[in-house]
Amino acid sequence: MRVLVTGGSGRLGRNVVGALAAAGDEVVSVDTAPEQRDDDVVTFPADLTDAGECYSTLARFRPDAIVHLAAIPAPGMRSEVRTFTTNTALSYNVCQSAADLGVGHVLVASSPTVMGYGNPAGWQPSYLPLDENHPVAPWNAYTMSKAATEDVVRAFARRGEGRFHIFRPCFVVSPEEWRGAPTQGGGTVRQRLENRSQAAVSLFNYVDARDAAEFVRLLLAKAEHVPNGETFFVAAADALAEKPLSELLPEHMSVPDEIAGQLTGTASAFDTSKARGLLGWEPTYDWRTELV
């Protein structure tokens, strides 16, 4: 099928585009500054915050499916106002244009940060590991934009005009970052592993970009068998930590012992059993084998 990937030049986008192209899909990578590629992937520059340009881009390529990754990808990169307005405009424009033009399936990237961790006023989970039913508690412009994006996607799913799904990829690590390239947050993966206070802010979460890309491929392939409007966590099976989270979360995040103790061994703070059950997805890369 023809798949249009927004944000196709980003660290996750490049891997999603590559995985879909390798699987035989016809892929169109749309970005404000698309990278040049050596394969058959079509690249196209577009600012999808402009509703007319978004509509015109989708009308030009007429995709069967859209993977919407384009966004200001983290808090603090732009002003709070720009972050919120950009991310919400992107998600609404893509979903509305897709519905109007009869695109069969739209998969939208949200973020696990909607859970509310990192709030300087304090945060505690109701239980661990976090699953898709846990209440969200956005607290800054970025997390609010992602929570609003999820509401937009679910609203379009309720309309029944196509299939709309959400996924929350954890801290994405691309293959070159295992070898020392700078991460999205600055520094290296090894520095993140060694600096527990830095990793604790995100509950020591991560996912290899190739595993996230495989999740996308599976969901597109099996979308008709997945209930409309579903949300999925996409995370590595373990935490980016050398000690169990049952020890680290009370120390660094003030999570009560009785809640942190619900995690055993090297387990992640995020439950991905829905992705396993509905799609057969399993993360295959972890920091212990990949980090150079």
Condensed to tens digits (0 to 9), the pLDDT of residues 246-292 reads 999 999 999 999 999 999 999 999 999 999 999 999 999 999 999 99
Kindly report the average pLDDT of the chain as a whole number. 96
User: For position 166, which CATH number holds?
Assistant: 3.40.50.720
In a domain, 104, yes or no: yes
Q: How confident is the model at residue 109 (pLDDT cuts 50, 70, 90)?
A: very high
pTM of the model: 0.96
User: pLDDT over 90 for what percent of the chain?
Assistant: 95
Structure tokens at 22: 């390798």
In a domain, 273, yes or no: yes
In a domain, 107, yes or no: yes
Alpha-carbon span 48 to 34, nearest angstrom: 13
In a domain, 129, yes or no: yes
Alpha-carbon span 161 to 254, nearest angstrom: 44
Region 224-235: what's the mean pLDDT?
A: 97
Question: Long-range pairs for 16-20 at CB < 8 Å and ≥24 separation?
Answer: 16/67, 16/69, 16/212, 16/213, 16/216, 17/41, 18/213, 19/210, 19/213, 19/214, 19/216, 19/217, 20/67, 20/213, 20/216, 20/217, 20/220
Region 169-189: what's the mean pLDDT?
A: 95
Contact criterion met (CB below 8 Å) for 29 and 71: no
What's the pLDDT at 185?
Answer: 83
pLDDT at 37 over 90: no
In a domain, 185, yes or no: yes
In a domain, 254, yes or no: no
What's the pLDDT at 210?
Answer: 98
Region 172-193: what's the mean pLDDT?
A: 94
**Owning domain of residue 49:** 2-194+205-237+268-290
In a domain, 229, yes or no: yes
pLDDT at 101 over 90: yes
Alpha-carbon span 252 to 245, nearest angstrom: 10
List the one residue out of 108, 30, 40, 36 whose CA is nearest residue 68. 108
Residue 107 CB burial class (10 angstroms; 0-12, 13-18, ≥19): buried
What length does the chain have? 292
Q: How confident is the model at residue 20 (pLDDT cuts 50, 70, 90)?
A: very high
In a domain, 102, yes or no: yes
Based on the structure, what is the number of domains in the chain? 1
What's the pLDDT at 39?
Answer: 87
